[in-house]
Structure 1
Amino acid sequence: MRRCLCPGSFDPVTNGHLDVIERAASLFDEVVVGIGANESKKGLFSLDERIDLIEKACAHLPSVRVESFEGLLVDFARERGIPAVVKGLRAVTDFDYELQMAQMNYRLTGLETLFVATNPDYSFLSSSLVKEVASYGGDVAGLVPDVVLQRLHERLGRR
């Protein structure tokens, strides 16, 4: 069985994230979406909420499951027998950072990293940008799954 890991904080999951997950699901038998749990970081959504949002956004993908992890990504992958990570790249700045991470992960445990170019429709998109725009009442419809849009409105007191 070919398995991969799509890691991130997903606070919140965007359509750009979902695009990468869907593409990974078309290439692998199983995709584990790994949500990094960092209790020192205060996010908009709790870890449990992020898990719920991704599970709902990926309900149409039977080969996708969602788990959280603490510590090193390589340890999480090794414990689950996952040999590869799939990451989306939006720009050269993503590549610089992600290449360093990929090389370190490979050095630590041999974990392979596969990069997919982001769909141009989402090349500007980030969770931080979505949260900022939504917090000022901007329309982020079409940038996040509908379930996330609804939760953003609830959380930020918007309709």
Structure 2
Amino acid sequence: MTTAYDFSARDIDGNEQSLGAWRGKTMLVVNVASKCGFTPQYKGLEELWRNHRDKGLVVLGFPCDQFGHQEPGDEAEIRNFCSTSYDVTFPLFAKVEVNGDNAHPLYKWMKKEQKGLLGTEAIKWNFTKFLIDAEGNVVKRYAPNDTPEKIGKDLQKR
């Protein structure tokens, strides 16, 4: 059976990073963008990370430029924006595609595991979120307008 730990991705600094590094942790995987109406969610995502990391949560940000060209920068620009605008300290990755033939394998897998509205697999916009349990299974998919605060309440119920 496939789990999130079977995947790796290039981090924001260009190093290959296995998701197995977070084995036993709950992961919140988010496709992020710097110039989106949902970009202020970076603040809430960082708060989630800071408030729950000691309880086993890791937030993983995957920049994506597939929606309205809202992530036009390169990795250095993305890292700088996240750091200076939102003091982001959670792990960020290199830009990926989340839909189509060139979608990152992690996203292809997550979309099959947790379909979206009306059973569709396609990601509709930036800041779609996937919650992965400590065993590496996708347990919930959140829409872009589902706030980090809402997810925090869900985490407290687990």
Q: TM-score range by the shorter chain?
A: 0.3 to 0.5
Q: What's the TM-score, normalizing by structure 2?
A: 0.40
Larger radius of gyration: 1
More helix by share: 1
